[in-house]
Chains A and B, each alone.
Chain A
Amino acid sequence: MSFLSRYIFSTNHKTIGIQYFVLALTAALLGTALSVLMRLHLTYPEAKIRLFEILWPNAAAGGVMTPELYLSLMTMHGTIMVFFVLTTVPQGGFGNFFLPLQIGAEDMAFPRINMLSFWATALAFLVLCSAFVVEGGAPLAGWTAYPPLSAVGSIAGPGMGKGMTLWVVSIALFCAASLMGAINFITTILEMRTRGMSLFRMPLTCWAWLVTALISLFAFAVLFAAGILLLLDREAGTSFFLPAGLVINDRILDRKGGSPLLWQHLFWFFGHPEVYIAILPGMGVVSTVLSVFSRKPVFGYRAMVWAMLAIGFLGFLVWGHHMFISGMSPYSSLAFSVLTLAIGVPSAVKTFNWLGTILGGRLHLETAMLWALAFVSVFVTGGLSGIALGQPALDMYFHDTYFVVGHFHIIMGVAAVFSILAGTFYWWPKMTGRMLSETLGRVHFYVTFLGVYAVFIPMHFAGIVGNPRRYSDFGQFEFLKDVQGLHKFITHAAFLTAAVQLLFIFNLIWSLYRGKKAGDNPWNATTLEWLPPSHQPHIVVRGAYDYSVPGARRDFLMQNESNGQ
C-alpha cells in the first residue's frame, strides 16, 4: 500500500473517520476565529484594528471593517459551523470510525463511496473557503441564503456575485457527499451487524447514527434540489424564487412568477431536521458516556430509541416555526406551533432518562463524563427558550433578535459541541492508543462551561431589549445604546472561551506524543469497539449497557461475554 492509498485516498473506515475529524477540527478553528473577529468589530466598530487591515486590505482599509465584510464573516461562520463542524464530526468522524467496530462489521458497506463522500466534503469546504478570495469576497446573505438577496447576483451587494455562487456550489457538493454517507450508514447498520447484534442490542450511538442517516437522506435531497433551483435563478435567468417587479439598486429585473417563500419552505424542510442531524449523534454519545461513567445501564433504553425515532420523524413536520412571521398563512403557524412543542415531549423523555441513568450510580467524574453532564445542562437551558420561541405570539417579538441567536447557539452549537468533546475524551484512547490529559481537560472544561453561559445567556437579554441580529453596527438606533455594555461583556467572555480552546488543541497534540498509553478498554466499557482487534467475528449475547448486573463477577459485561458468573 502506498502512502497515498493508505492515508489520503483510503477506503478504510478508521482512516476516513480521522480525516473527517481533522477536517472538522480545521473548520471549527476557522469558524471560531471568524466569530472572534465579528465580536471585535461589533464591540469596537470605530476602532482601527491592524489585524483586520492585514487580513482584508480592501474591505477593512484603515483597520475598520465594512458592513459587507462583517456580514460575509457572519455568513461564513454560520455555514462552516453548521455544515462542516456540526454535521461532519458526529456522523462522518465518530460514525465512520466507530459504527463498524460497535456492530462487529469489518468496514462500512461501501468503502469506496465512503472515500468519495469524504473527498466531496473536503472539496465542498475548499470551494466555500475560496469565496473569501474571489472578487467581491464571501457572500453576505447569511447561512440561510434567503432570496431575492441571494438570487439576483452582484447588484445585491459585494460578495453576492461569484462568492454567492461558490457558496451554492459548495452546499450542493456537501449535500451530494452527505447523501452518499447516509446510504452507506443505513446499509451498514441494516446489513452488516454481527451475529446476535439485534437492533435492540445496538449501542444507542448506532441507533443515533441510523436515525441521523435516515434524516440526512430526506433532508439533504431537498436542500440539493433547492440549491440547484437557486443556481438556475442566479445563472440561467429562471424565476423560481423571484417575483415580478423587483427593483434592486435602481434596476428593474426582468423576472416573474417566482416566490421568495418557496426557498424558505425548501430550506427549512432541510434546515430544521439539520438541527437533529447535528444533535442526535451527540445524544447517542451522551447516553453511552453517562452510562459508562455511572456504572449503570441506560435508563429506559427502549424509550430512548423510540424518542430518537420520534424526534427524527417530528423533525420533518416543524420547519414552519422558522417562518411564523414570513408572510406564510397565519393558520399554518398555529399548526406548526403545536407540532414544534410536541417535539419537546421526546426531548423531555431523553432528559429524564439521562437523569435516571446517573441517579443511584457511582459517578466517575472524568472529563468525558463532565462534558456529558454539561450537555444535559445546556440541552435543558436551550430547550426551554425553544418552548418560548415555538409559540408564534412570542416569536412575533423575538424572531431575528439576539434571543434566537442565544437560543440556537446553546441548543445546537454548544450542546452539540459538548457532545463532540465528550466523544473525543471518551474515544480518543481507541483512536490514538493514548489518553488525553485529565488536568488540561478539566481546566478546558470548566472555563468553557462558564464561558458559554456567559456568552449566550446575555444574548437572550439583548433579545428581550429587541436587539435585531445580523446588524453589523448598533450605532444607528437609539434603543441599542442600552445593550452596548452587554455586548462588550459578551465579547470579553467570547475571547476567553475561544482562547481556552487552544488548551484543548494542545491537549490533543500533547497526548499524541506524551499521553499515557491506553489499554484496550480504559473505561471498562461494554461495547465491542473496546475489544482487542481480532479476526474472528464477535458473537453478541447481550445488550450494550450491562453495568453493575447483580451477581456478575465485575461491574460490566461486554456484549460478547456469554457468562458473567
Chain B
Amino acid sequence: MFFAILLWITAFAVAAGFFVKRWWFPPPISRHAMAFDSLFAANLIAGGIIFLAVQLALGFVIFRYRDRGQRATFSTGSTRLEIILISLTAILFLGAVAASSGLWSAVHFTSMQSSDLKIETAGKQFAWSFRYPGPDGKFGKTDVRLINDAAGNPFGIPDDDAAGKDDIATSALRIPAGRPVQLLLHSHDVLHNFFVRELRVKQDLVPGMEIPLRIQADKTGEYEIACSELCGLGHHQMRSVLIVMPAAEFDAWLAQQGKRKQ
C-alpha cells in the first residue's frame, strides 16, 4: 500500500517537473524551431496523459488488490482486449510518425536553391571554421597538405587558385537574418556535430562526406554552436558562435571582407 502511494507521488512529481518548465528550451529563432516546439508540446501532452494514466492505474491496482485474504480471480487473458489494444497503440504510434515526418521533411527534403548563401562549415579537434565563397561566389580548391591555422589558412586553400583567393575564412558563423543559408558540413579528422539550440537543428560532420544542412534564422543575435558528437578529450570546449545579423548589415560585412582579400 505504501508503494502505491509512493508511486502516485512519484508520478505527479515527474509530471510537475515537465509542467513547470524551470529548465526548458531557449526561445526559438526560426519557423522550424517554432514548429519543433509545438510538435514537442503535442508529444508531451499525449505522453504525459499515458504516463499518468498507466502509473496511476498501476498504483491503483496495487492498492485495490493488496493481500487482504481475498481469493484471486482466475483469468488467462482476452484475445479481444489484446486486439483492441494492439490496434489502438498502432494507430497512436504511427500517428506520431505521420505527425512528425513533415517537420523532418521540411529540413531535409526542401530542394536547395542556387540562390542560397553557401557556407562551408568545417570541424576539427576542437575548433570550428567557416568559409564564404567571396565576391566571385565560388569556393576555391583545398588541399589538406596546406592547412595551416597559424597562417590563417584553416581550409588549406592554395595561393595559386583564382577562385580561392577571395574566399573568406572565419571562426564565427555570421549569417543574414531571414535568408536561407546552406551549410556544407565537412570534418577534417573525426566525427563532430553542428548543434545550435535556438535553431533546434543538429547534424553530424563526417570526414569524407559533404553534408548539406539548410537553415534559416529570423531573429538577430548571438547563439552558441556546440559540438554534439564525441570528438576527443576537448569535445566539451569545441564551441563557436552563430551571429545572426540584419541582412543589410551582413551584406556590408561580407563585401568588406571580400575587399580586404582582393
* Residues of A participating in the B interface, judged by any CB pair closer than 8 Å: 66-68, 71, 140-142, 146-149, 156-158, 243-249, 252, 258-261, 294-303, 325-327, 330, 333-334, 337-338, 341-342, 344-345, 348-349, 351-353, 355-356, 358-365, 370, 373-374, 376-377, 380-381, 384-385, 387-388, 390-394, 396-397, 399-401, 446, 449-450, 453, 457-458, 460-462, 464-466, 468, 470-474, 476-479, 482-483, 486, 547-550, 555
CA–CA, A267 and B57, complex, Å: 38
Does B82 contact A348, Cβ atoms closer than 8 Å?
Answer: no
Does B144 contact A247, Cβ atoms closer than 8 Å?
Answer: yes
CA–CA, A302 and B77, complex, Å: 9
CA–CA, A66 and B25, complex, Å: 30
CA–CA, A464 and B25, complex, Å: 6
Does B236 contact A325, Cβ atoms closer than 8 Å?
Answer: no
A-B contact pairs, 20 of them (CB 8 A): A245-B144, A259-B208, A295-B72, A325-B193, A352-B82, A361-B65, A373-B7, A374-B3, A380-B50, A384-B51, A388-B40, A393-B107, A394-B43, A399-B228, A457-B17, A461-B22, A466-B226, A476-B239, A478-B224, A550-B74
Q: Which residue of B96, B189, B200 contacts A387 across the interface (Cβ within 8 Å)?
A: B96
> Which residues of chain A come closer than 8 Å to B102, judged between CB atoms?
393
Q: Which residue of B36, B125, B191, B197 contacts A146 across the interface (Cβ within 8 Å)?
A: B191
CA–CA, A299 and B81, complex, Å: 11
> Which residues of chain B come closer than 8 Å to A243, judged between CB atoms?
207-209
Does A479 contact B26, Cβ atoms closer than 8 Å?
Answer: yes
Distance of B21 from chain A, by nearest CB (Å): 8
The tally of residues in B whose CB lies under 8 Å from a CB in A reads 98
Distance of A217 from chain B, by nearest CB (Å): 28
Does B43 contact A296, Cβ atoms closer than 8 Å?
Answer: no
Supposing A387-B96, A466-B26 touch, asked if A333 and B67 sit within 8 A by C-beta, the answer is no
> Which residues of chain A come closer than 8 Å to B234, judged between CB atoms?
67
> Which residues of chain B come closer than 8 Å to A303, judged between CB atoms?
77, 79, 82
One digit per residue, 1 when the CB lies within 8 angstroms of any chain A CB and 0 when it does not, for chain B 80-104 equals 0110011001100110110011111
CA–CA, A295 and B190, complex, Å: 56
- Give A472's nearest chain B residue, CB to CB: B236
Does B57 contact A396, Cβ atoms closer than 8 Å?
Answer: no
Distance of B134 from chain A, by nearest CB (Å): 23
**B124 sits at the interface (CB 8 A):** yes
**B261 sits at the interface (CB 8 A):** no
Distance of B225 from chain A, by nearest CB (Å): 10
> Which residues of chain B come closer than 8 Å to A66, judged between CB atoms?
233
- Give B13's nearest chain A residue, CB to CB: A453
Distance of B83 from chain A, by nearest CB (Å): 10
One digit per residue, 1 when the CB lies within 8 angstroms of any chain A CB and 0 when it does not, for chain B 98-133 equals 001111110111000000000000001100000000
Does A363 contact B17, Cβ atoms closer than 8 Å?
Answer: no
> Which residues of chain B come closer than 8 Å to A294, judged between CB atoms?
65, 72
Does B39 contact A450, Cβ atoms closer than 8 Å?
Answer: no
> Which residues of chain A come closer than 8 Å to B188, judged between CB atoms?
245-247
Does A549 contact B233, Cβ atoms closer than 8 Å?
Answer: no
Does A71 contact B125, Cβ atoms closer than 8 Å?
Answer: no
Does B73 contact A245, Cβ atoms closer than 8 Å?
Answer: no
Supposing A341-B93, A384-B51 touch, asked if A464 and B24 sit within 8 A by C-beta, the answer is yes
Q: Which residue of A259, A394, A400, A547 contacts B100 across the interface (Cβ within 8 Å)?
A: A394
Supposing A248-B125, A396-B200 touch, asked if A352 and B85 sit within 8 A by C-beta, the answer is yes
Does A377 contact B104, Cβ atoms closer than 8 Å?
Answer: no
- Give A458's nearest chain B residue, CB to CB: B17
Extra contacts, 10 of them, besides A341-B94, A363-B62 (Cβ < 8 A), are A156-B232, A296-B72, A359-B65, A362-B67, A373-B62, A387-B96, A457-B17, A464-B23, A465-B24, A476-B237
CA–CA, A531 and B241, complex, Å: 68
**B71 sits at the interface (CB 8 A):** yes
CA–CA, A474 and B193, complex, Å: 17
Q: Which of B42-68 contact A (CB under 8 A)?
A: 43, 47, 50-51, 54-55, 57-58, 61-62, 65-68
Does A466 contact B197, Cβ atoms closer than 8 Å?
Answer: yes
**B250 sits at the interface (CB 8 A):** no
> Which residues of chain A come closer than 8 Å to B1, judged between CB atoms?
365
Q: Which of B175-219 contact A (CB under 8 A)?
A: 188-191, 193, 195, 197, 200-204, 206-209, 211
> Which residues of chain B come closer than 8 Å to A486, judged between CB atoms?
23
Does A396 contact B201, Cβ atoms closer than 8 Å?
Answer: yes
**B262 sits at the interface (CB 8 A):** no
> Which residues of chain B come closer than 8 Å to A449, judged between CB atoms?
6, 10
Q: Which residue of A141, A326, A342, A464 contacts B230 across the interface (Cβ within 8 Å)?
A: A141
> Which residues of chain B come closer than 8 Å to A387, judged between CB atoms?
43, 47, 93, 96
> Which residues of chain A come closer than 8 Å to B229, judged between CB atoms?
146, 400
Does B70 contact A362, Cβ atoms closer than 8 Å?
Answer: yes
Does A247 contact B124, Cβ atoms closer than 8 Å?
Answer: yes
Q: Which residue of A260, A296, A446, A549 contacts B6 across the interface (Cβ within 8 Å)?
A: A446
